Amino acid sequence: MKLEAVLGDITTQDVDAVVNAANSSLLGGGGVDGAIHAAAGPELLAACRELRRTALPDGLPVGEAVATPGFRLPARWVIHTVGPNRHRGQTDPALLSSCFTRSLDVADGLGASSVAFPAVSGGVYGWAMDEVARIAVEAVRGGVTGIERVRFVLFSPDSLDAFRTELDRA
C-alpha cells in the first residue's frame, strides 16, 4: 500500500473514497465535515438522514465508519467516521485508531483502491497533530485490505509536517 501526505482540500481529491471527520449525528458540521457536505451537495445530507432514520437511529458511534455515495464530489464514496473528542474525555488512542481501520474496512468492502483521510480528531476535537499522525499512520500501515493508495490530506503546513515525519519512520 502506498501512503502519502499532501497539503490540500479533501473535497477535490481524485480518489475512490474520501473519509469525512463527521459528528455522530451525520448531519453536517464545521471543518472537514462542513466542507464535504457543501461540496457533495444536498444529496449527501439526504443520504445521511436516511441512514439515521434506518440503520443508525442513535447516530454513528465514535470509532465506527459508514459509507454514502459521494454525489457531487470527484470521489465515488464518502466514508463517515466519528473521531474521539479529547475535550469530552475521549482520550483512548484505540478509538482514534479504530476510525482509520474501520474506514479502511468499509472502503475495502466497497471495492475502493484509493482513500483520502483528513486528520481525524485533530483541530477542534483537541488531539495534538503529532499524536493524530502517529496513530493514523500506524493504524493504516497495520490494516490488512486491498487498498492500494492512502493519501492523508492536511489543512496546514504544520499538520503536513507531522504526517510526513510519521511516514518517514520505518
Interval 113-137: pLDDT, tens: 999 999 999 988 999 999 999 999 9
pLDDT at 123: 86
CA dihedral 129, 154, 74, 106 (to 10 degrees): -20
pLDDT at residue 151 greater than cutoff 70: yes
Distances (CA, A) of 36 to 10, 16, 89, 131, 162: 8, 14, 26, 24, 23
- CATH value at residue 131: 3.40.220.10
Which has the closest alpha carbon to 103: 73, 68, 63, 72? 63
Number of structural domains, the chain? 1
Q: Taking phi first (over 0 means left), then psi (-120 to 50 degrees means alpha), and beta for anything else, what does residue 109 get?
A: alpha
Domain ranges, residue 42: 2-168
Contact 102, 65 (CB under 8 A): yes
Looking at residue 116, the DSSP 8-state letter turns out to be E
pTM to 2 decimal places? 0.97
Instruction: Tell me the catalytic residues.
Output: 33
Which has the closest alpha carbon to 159: 52, 70, 35, 32? 32
Separation between Cα atoms, residue 169 and residue 5, nearest integer Å: 13
Q: Where are the alpha helices (DSSP H) in the chain?
A: 31-40, 42-53, 93-110, 129-142, 157-168
In this prediction, residue 170 has a pLDDT band, given cuts at 50, 70 and 90, of low
Separation between Cα atoms, residue 53 and residue 17, nearest integer Å: 23
Residues in the chain: 170
